[in-house]
Chains A and B, each alone.
Chain A
Amino acid sequence: MSIRLTDLTKRYNEQLVVNRVSLEIRDGELFVLLGGSGSGKSTVLRMIAGLTTPDAGKIELNGRDVTYLSPQARGVGFVFQNYSIFRHMTVLENVEFGLRIRKTKSNERRRRAEELLDLVGLAGLGARYPNQLSGGQQQRVALARALAYQPAVLLLDEPFGALDVKIRAQLRVSLKEIQRQLQVTTILVTHDQEEAFELADRIGVMDTGRLIEVGAPETLYYQPDTEFTATFIGGGNVLVGRKEDKWIRLGSAALPLPPEAAHTDDGAPIRILFRPERTILQSEPFQDRAIHVLGQGKVIEQIFAGALQRIVLEMEGLRGVRAVAPRAVYGQSVTRIEVIQTGARAAENSFTLGQKMWVGLRDFHVLDPAGLKVLICVSQDVSGQLAAEMGSLLAHATHGPATLLHVAARPELAAQARDYLETVRRAFAAQLPGLDVRVRVGTSAAQILLEAQEGHYEVIALGQSASGDTGFRGLGSTARQVLEQAEVPVLLTQTKRVGLKQILICTRGGEPGKTDVAFGGRVARRADAAATVLFVQTEQTTPEEQKRAARHLLQAEAALAVQGVRGKIKILDGGIIENIIRQADADDADLIVIGAQAPRGRPRLRWQNFATQLVGAAARPVLVVPMNE
């Protein structure tokens, strides 16, 4: 194994840029790290080279732990996007530099440098200065310079980013040839999918500091595990169906359930991916049994793009089926899919807008199930039990992975905490077989927030003790801090519920209200629960606000319908808390979803009080959704 990364983590100013990245790269492999800007891919590369020090984790090069070694001691070759070749040295001197530092004899040095210049296609240009070369040539020099001293691994950071398309294509071919010839283990970082597909033996997809998925280009394209990869790489249609016996039900269409998804519960959501170019359009119904029929669609958009033609269809038969991609427009009611026709077919098949066509799939792929990722914060008392129960209820209902977290105040308490968590885990094992256990040491709130951020949890579940005899005494300090600073929704529980069938979403009119409707809808969809969207107008609500709220509620209803959630909307007059509680009682809601007004500013104190009051008065679990995103 040439390169092995274990739990590599880096923060800049509290911002997680690289989040527990583990990766093994085989000898002689050309590995591409693919991700958007800010995904942390370059930081990973810089950490391997020693130009950035990781906060945690381990880097091994050829079996040697180099995590804290200087860049000089690692023997890696690094190629920068901006070339960074030494402008006062000739091409030959640039290439020789590594050997000169290593005190290689000058004739040996010269021979090796000439050899490399020949390899990168710059033979005879050794005497030139960098400013006499084109960008592409300069990058070739940089490549030769990085290879001259036979580095253990070659690292390239967006090497072709500054070059124009034609030169880029030529350099790609050269790089691939050189890499094959020298068999040097290589990591290339890029945001360019085409580049990744053309070069890579394997691709690692990165997003917000995490390594999402690793695989061969074809696998990532046709059989990705995750929704992110499916939508990030290439164009794709990702639809959410439900399991129905041996079928995946998508509105009026049904696709055969592949064996790998056989263990899914009946009624559970199943996300399928099909690529636009793996579809067939025809005006007659399909006779061929090998083609999976999706139904009849109406052409609503047609884009000519050279060799291929992109068509968007509205699928009446898929009404109510949620599409992850192409992304639904807010308020859109009929599911849309994207189809690509290539080559001769595009020329002969010219469609008119509104034309009805039958859509068939050559093949499709089932993505790994994903639910809400829940972080359940367990303490060794009643509130911990409550958090565990409601958190696992939420995780179970939404088919999400969950982790039990306990924060030990001191390191010596960690072992005991782990034992305790194990007993909790066993208690919930039947309900949540994949339950994870984690112990952190430090201050509760800070560690909970860190874990939530690092583990990319989507919900933090906290318990609130003491209802009943003693009455509710307000939120504890941990809960308050978590509420104040969490970037994800926080579930506050002070009473137990048996199921998650009815959700009350309390919204505000207008733009910020969309966040909690969207999240509440997501929970409802995954839990297969019914939802009520409630807007409470008080005496201070102006007529414009009322109008906006009414409009917002109608949109919310449509949005829920698109998500496949049974929902109703409600507007009540009077006090906010009283009305929420009245409606919650009327619905017998298992969960109240509220949006947090200003999670980062000072005014948060107001809603914090509001949340506290609601948790105290409602005697139902409350999910507080921050509205900054």
Chain B
Amino acid sequence: MTMTTALKPSRVPRGLFPVGILLAVMLPLILMPLASIYVFAARSGLEGFINAITSPEAQFALRFSLLIALLTAIINGGLGTYTAYVLSKYRFPGRDALNVIVNLPVAIPTVVVGTSLLLLWGPIGILGQFLVPLGISPMFAPAGVLLAHLFVTFPYMLGAVKPVLDELEVTYEEAAYTIGASQLEAFRFVILPALRGGLFSGALLTFAHSLGEFGATILVSGNLPFRTQTAPLYIFAQFEAGNIEAANAVAAVLATLSFVLFFALMQFNKKSARA
């Protein structure tokens, strides 16, 4: 690196001015809002902060959020890997269409996802009108929150795993077959280990997105404390009610969690890029 810069000094201008502009934009746009969470959290003092996050409602919201994120990561981890395997390995009519469909959730506004789930499972929904009278009502219940999160985060696992699978030569699997491994054994011993990196970063990404999901959750959960209220919903509700301190404390926790996950992911990617 240093060699290259030394050889081509003219190509690397000392751009203090452009960097300054960049900082001037980033500051009010990203850095200051983030900082204010912590500033406000600090203002109420440690005791106030602890009180705020240990309130039963806040505790439920945080734990519920973590639980949902964990479940989402596990379920979509499996589902996404399987989808990636099928899409990458098999050739069938409609493959391209399916490829687009499974990636669609990224493009759809989350509020629309919430609406569509309500219109399917809700009391007046296409399936709901028959199921709700039978007592099967996923909407406004924890199951509904999980459904929404599965929908919204589906493409992340796929996006992390499929490129790795695509790059794996066909002969890799064929080698396992000729050696005597069944398709399942080949997947278990040969394919899966090769996917480790993709699986980990995909799961992390899914977890992080699930933790922060708001748009779809607010619609399908009904925002019921002690039942379906996730951390982001709690923050929203507390803000609405004017309890800035309570809202802000949970927001600070959520932000910190996200930072940790994000840095873990970055570290991991750096490591696997080097390997």
Chain A residues proximal to chain B, CB less than 8 Å: 49-51, 70-72, 74-78, 80, 82, 84-89, 97-98, 100-102, 131, 142, 145-146, 149
Contacts and interface: CB of A to CB of B under 8 A. Distances in A.
A77 B196 contact: no
B180 A149 contact: yes
A174 B175 CA distance: 22
User: Interface of chain B, helix or strand or loop or mixed?
Assistant: helix
Nearest to B182: A72
B179 A98 contact: yes
A131 B275 CA distance: 9
A102 B180 CA distance: 8
B218 to A, nearest CB: 42
A45 to B, nearest CB: 11
A101 B196 contact: no
Contacts of A86: 172, 175-176, 189-190, 193-194
B180 A75 contact: yes
B166 interface: no
B171 A97 contact: no
B226 interface: no
A73 to B, nearest CB: 9
Contacts of A51: 174, 177-178
Given A97-B189, A101-B185, A84 B180 contact: no
A149 B174 contact: no
Interface in B38-85: none
A76 B182 CA distance: 14
Nearest to B190: A86
Given A49-B178, A80-B175, A98-B179, 15 more contacts: A51-B174, A70-B177, A71-B178, A72-B180, A75-B180, A78-B178, A82-B171, A84-B174, A88-B194, A98-B180, A101-B180, A101-B189, A142-B175, A146-B179, A149-B180
Interface of B: 169, 171-172, 174-182, 185, 189-190, 193-194, 196, 275
Nearest to B178: A78
A85 B178 CA distance: 12
9 contacts: A50-B177, A51-B178, A70-B177, A71-B174, A77-B179, A78-B175, A84-B171, A97-B189, A131-B275
Nearest to A81: B171
A123 B182 CA distance: 29
A593 B177 CA distance: 54
A363 B182 CA distance: 56
A163 B169 CA distance: 18
Nearest 9 interchain pairs by C-beta:
A78-B178, A88-B193, A84-B175, A71-B177, A84-B171, A98-B179, A80-B171, A101-B180, A71-B178
A76 B177 contact: no
Contacts of A145: 175, 179
A101 B171 contact: no
A87 B164 CA distance: 13
A89 B175 CA distance: 14
Contacts of B275: 131
A181 B189 CA distance: 31
A70 B177 CA distance: 8
B178 A76 contact: yes
B170 to A, nearest CB: 9
B54 to A, nearest CB: 44
Given A80-B171, A86-B190, A88-B193, A101 B179 contact: yes
Given A86-B190, A87-B194, A97-B189, A72 B171 contact: no
A74 B177 CA distance: 10
A82 B169 contact: yes
Contacts of A102: 180
Nearest to A89: B193
Contacts of A98: 179-180
B175 to A, nearest CB: 4
Contacts of A85: 175
A145 B181 CA distance: 13
A145 B177 CA distance: 13
Contacts of A76: 178
Given A88-B193, A88-B196, A97-B189, A80 B174 contact: yes
Contacts of B172: 84, 86
Contact of B169 (A84, A88, A89): A84
B194 A77 contact: no
Which of B179, B189, B196 has the most chain A CB atoms closer than 10 A to its own CB? B179
B93 to A, nearest CB: 16
Contacts of B175: 78, 80, 84-86, 142, 145
Contacts of B174: 51, 71, 78, 80, 84
Scoring A97, A98, A142 by chain B CB atoms within 10 A of each residue's CB, the highest score goes to: A97
Contacts of A70: 177
A535 to B, nearest CB: 50
Contacts of B194: 86-88
Which of B180, B182, B194 is the most central at the interface, judged by chain A CB atoms within 10 Å of its CB?
A: B180
B199 to A, nearest CB: 12
Nearest to A142: B175
Contact of B177 (A72, A77, A131, A149): A72
Contacts of A131: 275
A184 B138 CA distance: 63
B129 to A, nearest CB: 48
Interface centre among B175, B176, B194, B275 (most CB of A within 10 A): B175
B174 to A, nearest CB: 5
Nearest to A145: B179
A296 to B, nearest CB: 56
B161 to A, nearest CB: 15
Contacts of A74: 178
B171 to A, nearest CB: 4
A146 B176 CA distance: 10
A98 B180 CA distance: 6
Nearest to A97: B179
B81 to A, nearest CB: 16
A282 to B, nearest CB: 55
A72 B169 contact: no
A77 B189 CA distance: 18
B140 to A, nearest CB: 45
Contacts of B196: 88
A549 B261 CA distance: 77
Nearest to A52: B174
A87 B193 CA distance: 9
Given A82-B171, A84-B171, A88-B193, A77 B178 contact: yes
A233 B185 CA distance: 43
Contacts of B180: 72, 75, 98, 101-102, 149
A365 to B, nearest CB: 40
B194 to A, nearest CB: 6
A149 B179 contact: yes
B181 A72 contact: yes
Nearest to B189: A97
B53 to A, nearest CB: 41
A101 B177 CA distance: 11
A277 B182 CA distance: 53
B266 to A, nearest CB: 23
A181 B193 CA distance: 35
A145 B171 CA distance: 14
A89 B178 CA distance: 17
Nearest to A98: B179
A77 B178 CA distance: 6
Which of B177, B196, B275 neighbours the largest number of chain A CB atoms within 10 Å of its CB? B177
A440 to B, nearest CB: 31
B101 to A, nearest CB: 28
A225 B238 CA distance: 92
A82 B167 CA distance: 13
B91 to A, nearest CB: 13
A95 to B, nearest CB: 10
A50 B178 CA distance: 8
A85 B179 CA distance: 11
